[in-house]
């Protein structure tokens, strides 16, 4: 538990520090990515910034809303899903690359306990985190430092990002005024139910094959 908590806090601290140090980047993105551009230019900019969300303070919620508003619900969802999933994969592999360095500071017993804990609760945690800034990047990194298979991480990240992308894209395409707090609550509830359903299906399949 101590291992996961320390890595999680370090990652959160780095993400928050990045936001504070590069606050002007967020303002620049907000000012320069808008509906006045051609769809091709907008798509390229939005994809590039969202894919770099792990490293830069990107206003991803705003971009996902604009994706739906400018590209429509289908292509807006697709753009948000692909770019945000790419950012999560990058965060996962950063964690996996850093894992040998963290192992030097923690006992094998602590690592085993962390792996078991993340195996029990990691799937749902990954899914929920995709609706929350900072936590999304931090949990992706933490997942990379555990024994979680990449395929499992990719599946539950995709579920979380899909629900988030659909929610923001549809609200962006149908509404000019959006309560982001309400959107976040709805997205989390749907993501939890969806993730829980997927886990039950996979568990039943596993029991039938054994």
pTM of the complete model beyond 0.85: no
Q: Would you say residue 158 has pLDDT above 70? A: yes
Quote the CA–CA distance of 108 and 135 in Å, as a whole number. 26
pLDDT of residue 150: 93
Quote the CA–CA distance of 210 and 205 in Å, as a whole number. 9
Distant-in-sequence, close-in-space partners of 109: CB < 8 Å, separation ≥ 6: none
Tell me if 34 sits within 8 A of 64, measured CB to CB.
Answer: no
Quote the CA–CA distance of 29 and 194 in Å, as a whole number. 32
pLDDT digit string (tens) for 161-204? 998 898 888 877 776 555 555 555 565 566 556 555 655 665 66
pLDDT digit string (tens) for 124-136? 888 888 877 778 8
pLDDT of residue 84: 93
pLDDT digit string (tens) for 59-115? 788 888 888 888 888 999 999 999 999 999 999 999 899 888 887 777 777 778 777
Percent with pLDDT over 70 in the chain = 73
């Amino acid at each position: 538990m101590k291992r996961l908590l320390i890595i999680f806090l370090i990652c959160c601290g780095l993400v928050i520090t990045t936001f504070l140090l590069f606050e002007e980047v967020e303002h620049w993105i907000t000012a320069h990515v808008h509906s006045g551009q051609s769809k091709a230019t907008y798509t390229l900019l939005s994809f590039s910034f969202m894919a770099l969300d792990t490293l830069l303070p990107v206003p991803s919620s705003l971009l996902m809303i604009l994706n739906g508003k400018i590209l429509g619900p289908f292509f807006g969802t697709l753009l948000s899903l692909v770019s945000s999933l790419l950012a999560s994969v990058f965060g996962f592999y950063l964690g996996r690359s850093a894992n040998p360095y963290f192992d030097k500071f923690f006992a094998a017993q602590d690592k085993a306990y962390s792996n078991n804990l993340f195996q029990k609760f990691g799937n749902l945690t990954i899914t929920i985190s995709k609706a929350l800034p900072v936590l999304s990047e931090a949990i992706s990194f933490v997942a990379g430092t555990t024994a979680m298979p990449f395929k499992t991480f990719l599946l539950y990240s995709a579920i979380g990002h899909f629900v988030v992308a659909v929610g923001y894209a549809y609200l962006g395409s149908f509404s000019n005024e959006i309560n982001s707090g309400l959107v976040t609550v709805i997205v989390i509830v749907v993501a939890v139910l969806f993730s829980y359903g997927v886990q039950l299906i996979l568990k039943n399949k596993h029991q039938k094959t054994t």
